[in-house]
Chain A
Amino acid sequence: MQLAPAEIGFVFLLASLGLLAPLVIMARRTKTARAFAIALIVGSNVVGCLVAAVCFWRESHAVVDLSSFTPFPFALGIDRLSALFLLLICAVAVPVSIFAVSYFDKHHSEQRRSWMWAFYSLFLLSMIVVVTASTGFAFLIGWELMTLLSAGLILMEGDSAERRHNVFIYLLMMHVSAAAVAACFFLFLPYSHSLSFGAIRASGTGLPGGVRATICLSAFVGFGAKAGLIPLHLWLPRAHPIAPSPVSALMSGIMLKMAVYGFVRFMFDFLGGGPWWCGYVVLLAAAVTGLLGILYAIAENDLKRLLAYSSVENIGIIFLGLGTSLVFLAHGAPLGAALALVAALFHTFNHAFFKSLLFLGTGAISNSAHSVNLNELGGLQRRMPLTGAAVLIGCCSIAGLPLFNGFVSEWLTFRSLLAGSTLIDTKAQIILPLMVGTLALIGGLAAACFVKAFGTAFLGRPRSTGAEHAEEAPFGMCVGLVLLGAGCLATGIFPGFLLRPLVTLAQVLIPGAGVPEETLSIARILPWTAAILLGTGTLVALFKRRERVARTWACGLPGLSSRMQYTSTVFSKPIRFIFAQVYRPDRKVEELPADEPYFPVSISYRSVRTTSYERALYRPFVEVFVSLAYRLRRLQTGNIQVYLLYIFLALVSLLTFLRFQR
């Protein structure tokens, strides 16, 4: 068998992540062995980047068919779409792994560290399997392993009743998702007679309408739950914050994108667009997800939870693009569909970068200041300038500001929504342009949210002794952060080099699409804008200034203490006040002593954001399941003869079924 260079690289990637690195780590628990394994992980991911880049920029496929080694049809292959996501995984995994070296060293015992690295490596492998699978079987195996391994990584971080409960919810939701995804594949089976992607793709156009609609819905639920679309997002803000920071970065940055990959694979590659209503359903869910996600994020004071909710929001933006693309497809406008798809995929890529950057930044903060609560941070920019600079880039990107990568994809989404006005259909003509308003609101709130996050964590005075004595993150962490930050900035100023292959990818997925001119014009204007800003900067820098440190204005008081600063809670208060309907805070004011209302000794005030709507939404399901379980309990008697009776009855009923089927 002749292997192309790309295929050799791919096999190396799979083998080192799946076999070599874990084996080396687990076989010899020494420092050198682990260092070798880590080097292997980083190196193989660099190789993976190259392989993906080759496949992504040039039309070349890599196929690795393992069916002959396994009893199952287990084949992997890289086409353009897979290459994009493989690139995403490997490109993010390199800096995250470099960061993780110092992070795991600081936070985990020797014993635990080996396990962490082994799971980490396999977790990466499972995601690579998901995106490169070319049979449904391989896809489902990767999908399932991805969930289990990430749950394992969360549990390894620590153990408490709350953590177990959260992981339980995570696993529960993920299995609902996996069931829906499996259902998608099996719904194809009667028409494709095989689970290989080629056969599925071939059968995609000839499906009856009902089956097609069911697959669409099933894919939406399955991948939507994995991506964290509201109301299926329940697990996300529970699971992401409790993982170790590098793993949070992988989960938020990459694992959520696997759902986007699956959704694109099904809706665009296999089905070539859904029924007409499908795009609108996705749009609605995406708009709700984006808005609620960012509103919840802004109310959070825990940096990790804030980032988790902001992932929900960004998934909303990605699905906004996907929904728009589906609407365009349904109305037979391939050009607009391609534009929206490029926007969604580009945002997927960008989000992977800036979200993992921010999660790593949080890791660096918790490492230096021993807290991720915004109300205990502050003044870190002076103490950890490099981390601060990288996190600032991440914050600008996620807020969608020009010159940073988040802007480019949001801009493309805006333009595709605006292009909706050219459709013939009246619904689309109104709904798509109005979505501009929703996306603008999301963008504005995101900017507010990250002004708060960066401003209270890194600027001003430290609010705790931990923050006051913080020191710059260790070298390894800084390298990871700077790499990701540079990536954000580079794709933000010169998006053209990524946009061109993305357009080609969109043309592969959407036959008949031309090159949307928007993708060209944005790539042309941004470097100019950057040049003007840079020019202003140098001009001002050249303009020599005398500088003197003077006390901050304190209304004539002797000085300011850190308690006089705006806290994170106060910063978001106006927005929480305006959107009180969304948060439904549960306020409690207690005065002590209670019997003397006019002379209280102390007053305590507590305001908790309730999740009333979540409860209202999920309670019925939970109740039905619990009552069903209680009823089914009667079957379990513990008596061996009764179980034998069940087996017997099952056999008999099967036989009678066969008898009457004839």
Chain B
Amino acid sequence: MKITLDVIQVLILILGAPLVPAIIARLKALLQRRRGASLWRPYAELFKLLRKEELVPPTSSAVFRLAPVVMFGATLCVTAFVPVVHVSALFGSRGDFFLLVYLLALGRFFLSLGALDGGSAFGGMGASREALVSSLAEAPFLLGLVAIAILASHADLASMVAWTLQQDFFNISAVHILAFTSLAMVILAETGRMPVDNPTTHLELTMIHEGMALEYSGPSLALIEWASAIKLHAMLALLIALFFPWGIASASAQRGIFVAPLIYCGKIGVLMILLSMIESAVAKLRMYLVPDFLGVASALSALAVIFTMWVKR
């Protein structure tokens, strides 16, 4: 029973992933009074790319071909950590958030290498910028999670979520607000969303993630695009699970399992609306302001960790 639920969760995260950026794009279009593309377009695109032939730069080596695979695989592993409809997850009680964050780093590391293997300036530019953003994002990411883990006195995500479930929603502690703010900021940076990176840009000089994927085509590009969609979905699901888990099915409320997916859709819908509003309202930060953005996130998360000392008693 439990294992089926866990597998279903993973499937929701993986198969539902292309919908997330599509819905955000659609919401953005609505906000900007455009019609927007079909919600199923990403699926069609993935299907198309997977069937196409692949173009490879003449300078590239095995690393170029390996990178999308590793990135996709690492992202798949990440989905096994995040509770979606049920408090447990496939790796929920064994792996902890350190492993989760570093699996994301593994994918990023290889994608950066793949970008450098193209031998053009754009790949290098994307990789170099990604190196800056990700190296500074790691500290606030982990500290924000550490703050919650200290309160829950467990480091595995399943127990952290289970602990939050027992709390009163209205009993907001400073730790949660600070950690949520910093994690939300970090996730914007991690998934390459608006103030840090522009997912819709095709101007070479402004892009980070797109710059790294520039030389990829065909199935490799499909893997990269899919993986980044999964990453976005998993990160949003992580935020929901850690900060607004109420409504998720748990051991004590097994019957909730049928309502939980609906509640989850509602919650992620709200997050997507927020995201699309941010993306419509905010301009992309200049490259050298991104460290300040992440520095603020670091300060908030450090403060969250300090606050645990007072909240815990």
Contact = CB atoms under 8 A, between A and B. Distances in A.
> Do chains A and B directly touch (beta carbons under 8 Å) in the complex?
yes
Q: Max chain A CB contacts within 10 Å: which of B64, B69, B215? A: B69
B109 A451 contact: yes
Residue of B73, B117, B218, B288 most packed against chain A (CB within 10 A): B73
A461 B119 contact: yes
Interface in A523-560: 524-525, 528-529, 532-533, 535-537, 540, 543, 545-555, 560
Given A447-B109, A461-B119, A578 B55 contact: no
Contacts of B109: 396, 399, 401, 447, 451
Nearest to B137: A444
**Which label, helix, strand, loop or mixed, suits the secondary structure of the A interface?**
helix
Given A402-B99, A537-B69, A552-B118, A529 B54 contact: no
Contacts of B223: 540
Interface string A450-462: 0110111011110
Given A545-B219, A564-B121, A448 B134 contact: yes
Interface residues of A, number: 81
Contacts of A385: 61-62
B139 A547 contact: no
A460 B117 contact: yes
A529 B98 CA distance: 14
B122 A565 contact: no
Contacts of A102: none
Nearest to B121: A564
A548 B116 contact: no
A433 interface: yes
Contacts of B118: 460, 552
A421 B146 CA distance: 10
B149 interface: yes
B124 A565 contact: yes
A4 interface: no
Give the one of A451, A546, A562 with max B CB within 10 A.
Answer: A451
A69 to B, nearest CB: 52
B61 A407 contact: no
Contacts of B139: 437-438, 440-441, 444
Interface in A445-493: 445, 447-448, 451-452, 454-456, 458-461
A552 B58 contact: yes
B176 to A, nearest CB: 16
A552 B105 contact: no
Contact of A552 (B112, B215, B302): B215
A440 B70 CA distance: 22
A183 interface: no
B63 A459 contact: yes
A222 interface: no
Q: 4 closest A-B pairs (Cβ-Cβ)?
A: A566-B124, A444-B135, A455-B116, A536-B73
6 contacts: A401-B102, A411-B98, A440-B143, A560-B121, A562-B119, A575-B135
Interface of B: 53-64, 69-70, 72-74, 76-77, 80, 91, 94-96, 98-99, 101-103, 105-106, 108-109, 112-113, 116-125, 127-129, 131-132, 134-143, 146-147, 149-150, 153, 155, 204, 214-215, 218-219, 223, 287-288, 291, 298, 301-302, 305-306, 308-309
Interface of A: 379, 381-382, 385, 388-389, 392, 396, 399-403, 407, 411, 414-415, 418, 421-422, 426, 429-430, 433-434, 436-438, 440-441, 443-445, 447-448, 451-452, 454-456, 458-461, 521-522, 524-525, 528-529, 532-533, 535-537, 540, 543, 545-555, 560, 562, 564-566, 570-575, 577-578
